[in-house]
Amino acid sequence: APDALPASLSSLPPDFVWGTATASYQIEGSVTAGGRTPSIWDTYSHTPGRVHDGDHGDVADDHFLRYREDVALMKDLGLQAYRFSIAWPRITPHVTADSLGPVSEEGLDFYSRLLDELLAAGITPAATLYHWDLPQALEDAGGWPARATAERFAEYAGLVAARLGDRIDSFITLNEPWCSAYLGYGSGVHAPGRTDHADALAAVHHLNLAHGLATTAIRAERPDAQVGVTLNLAWVRPADADSPADVAAAHRIDGLQNRVFLDPMLDGTYPQDILDATSSVTDWSFVHDGDLAAIHQPLDFVGVNYYSPTVVRAYDGVGLREEADGHGDGAVSAWPACEDIEFPAQPGPYTDMGWSIDARGMSELLLRMHREHPGLDLYVTENGSAFPDHVQPDGSVQDDDRISYLRDHIEAVAHAVREGAPVRGYYVWSFLDNFEWARGYTKRFGIVRVNYETQERTPKASAHWYAGLIGEHTAKD
Ligand code: PNW
C-alpha cells in the first residue's frame, strides 16, 4: 500500500480547508424535477454518437433524491468543505435571450435544502454558478458566442446570491471557461458540440464578461461573500526548451489557455500576442468599450484545477500532427490558430483518462500565480484521477493508484505553500464517481464508488485515506 500520509502536511496552515467537489449535471439526475428544462448537456448527451455508449445524466448518481445520504457520508468522512454547482435550468427554466423569466421556487428549494443539510453537518459550502449546464434556450439564441448569454448569467448570479446567499460565503462564478469555449465551440467534444474557432473565441470573451458582470451582481447582494473563479490552468512546457519554435508554441498555448482568462480578469487587458495570433480567425470586434473594465473586478480568490501537464512542439507539417493532449478526439482541433503546433505523447504513468501523471505541475502553477499575482488567495478547486475500480470479494474498493496520485499532488501543494503560495484549501475531484462528460460513466473519479445498478455508495480506500489525512492535519492544530 502507498505510504500513509504526506510527511509535509505540517507546512499547511491549521485553517487549511479540505474538501471534495462535484457538478450538478454529473451527479444530480431528476432532470425534469421541479420544472427543470433541458441544458446543453441534456441535448448533447441525447444526441447519438456524442457521448460514449450513449450515456447521459438523466439519473446519474440520483443525488437530487439522495443528497441527505451523501451529506451524511461527507460528515462521516470528516470532510470540511463541499464544492458543488447550481444547475441554471433549475433556477430559471424559462430564461430567454431577453429575460430571466420566472424563478422556479422548487429549483431554489433543492439547493436551499442542500445548503441546510451541509451547514447542519458542519460542512462549508462553496457554490459554483456555472459548471457547463447552459439552458438550451440560451444556446438556441446563440449560446456563449452571444453577448446576451453573459448578461442573463449575471442576472441569474445576482438572483442566486439574493435567494441563497445567506448560507453561501464562497461563490465561484464559472468552472473552467476554457472547456466551455474551446471544447464546446472549437473541437465540439463537449456540449453544444459546435466547431468554429471564431465562435470559440467569442465564447472566451463572453465567458470573461459573464464572470465580471456576475461578480458585480453577487457583490451587490452579498458584499461580504468571497467571490472567485475556477480556471483549468495549464502547466505548459516546450518539448525542447532549446528550440525557439517550441518555446514560441508553448507561449501561444499559455496565452490561449491561461492568459486569455487571467489577464482580463486580473489586469483588465487581453494579451496582445493572442489578439495578433488569432487575427486571421476573428477581429475580436465582440469586445466592446467598457467590457474589460467590467471583467476586471477585484477577486477574493482564484480556483486552480490541475490534472496533467501540457507539452507542446512546433509542427513542421511533416508527418501526422500529434494531438496527445486529448483535445483532438473531434474532427476539429480545440485550439484556434494553432495549426503549426502539436502535442507530443508524454511519458507515463497515465490515469484511466490517458492523462500523464506529473505532480510538479501542481506546484509550478500555484507558484506562478503567487509570483504573477502576489497576495491573491488560491484554492485547488479540483484535482484527482480516474482509475478502474478494484472491488474486493468483501465489497471494499482498493484504489492505491488514486491514493498515490492524491498523496503526490497534495505534497506538491504543500511544497508550493512552503515556497510562499497562499493556498487556502484543496478539493478532491470527485466526491462520487459520476457522469464524466463525453466519456460517460466509464471513467471513475470518485473517492466514493457508485454502483450504477443500485446507486449504492461505497467509500473507496482513498476516501478512508483522505479522511485519515484530514484527521491528522486537524489534530495538529
Ligand atoms: C474538469 N480537458 O473537466 C471538470 O471541471 C470536471 O467536471 C471533470 O469531471 C474533471 O475535470 C475531469 O475531467 C475537464 O480535456 C475536462 O483538458 C476536460 C479537460 C479538462 C478538464
Position 318 scores a pLDDT of 85
| Grid cell for residue 391 | 472491488
Locate cell 442576472: which residue? 155
Position 1 scores a pLDDT of 44
Position 6 scores a pLDDT of 66
The preferred substitution site among 437, 442, 447 for testing ligand 1, maximizing ligand atoms within 8 Å of CB, is 437
> How far, in Å, is the centroid of ligand 1 from the Cα of 359?
17
Q: Is the pTM of this model over 0.95?
A: yes
* CA atoms of 455 and 75, how far apart (whole Å): 19
User: 343: which DSSP letter?
Assistant: B
Contact (CB, 8 A) for 179 and 256: no
Position 475 scores a pLDDT of 83
* CA atoms of 432 and 95, how far apart (whole Å): 30
The preferred substitution site among 25, 51, 178, 307 for testing ligand 1, maximizing ligand atoms within 8 Å of CB, is 307
ipTM of the complex: 0.93
How are the residues of the chain apportioned to helix, strand and coil, as percentages rounded to the nearest 5?
45, 15, 40
Nearest ligand 1 atom to alpha carbon 430: 9
Contact (CB, 8 A) for 377 and 424: yes
Residue whose C-alpha is closest to residue 127's, from 87, 154, 90? 87
Locate cell 442566486: which residue? 160
* CA atoms of 383 and 233, how far apart (whole Å): 12
| Residue nearest (by alpha carbon) to ligand 1 atom 18 | 179
| Grid cell for residue 423 | 493556498
Position 424 scores a pLDDT of 98
DSSP 85-125: E--HHHH-TT--SS------HHHHHHHHHHHHHHHHTT-EE
Distances (CA, A) of 210 to 104, 145, 152, 384: 22, 11, 8, 27
Kindly give, in sequence order, each residue whose CB lies less than 8 Å from that of residue 83, ignoring residues fewer than 6 positions away.
19, 20, 21, 22, 125, 126, 127, 128, 172, 381, 382, 427
> How far, in Å, is the centroid of ligand 1 from the Cα of 307?
8
Contact (CB, 8 A) for 414 and 11: yes
> How far, in Å, is the centroid of ligand 1 from the Cα of 443?
11
Helix (H, G, I), strand (E, B) or coil at 340: coil
Check the annotation: does 136 bind a ligand: no
Locate cell 446563440: which residue? 142
Residue whose C-alpha is closest to residue 70's, from 110, 39, 17, 12? 110
Q: Is the distance from the beta carbon of residue 330 to the nearest atom of ligand 1 less than 6 Å?
A: no
419 catalytic residue (yes or no): no
Across 7-69, the runs of DSSP E, i.e. the strands, are: 17-21
Q: Which helix (H) or strand (E) holds 390?
A: strand 390-391
> How far, in Å, is the centroid of ligand 1 from the Cα of 399?
20
Q: Which of 28, 176, 323, 411 is catalytic?
A: 176
Position 323 scores a pLDDT of 85
Distances (CA, A) of 45 to 49, 117, 139, 167: 9, 30, 15, 33
382 catalytic residue (yes or no): yes
Residue ranges in the chain modelled with pLDDT below 70: 1-7, 328-330, 476-477
Position 331 scores a pLDDT of 75
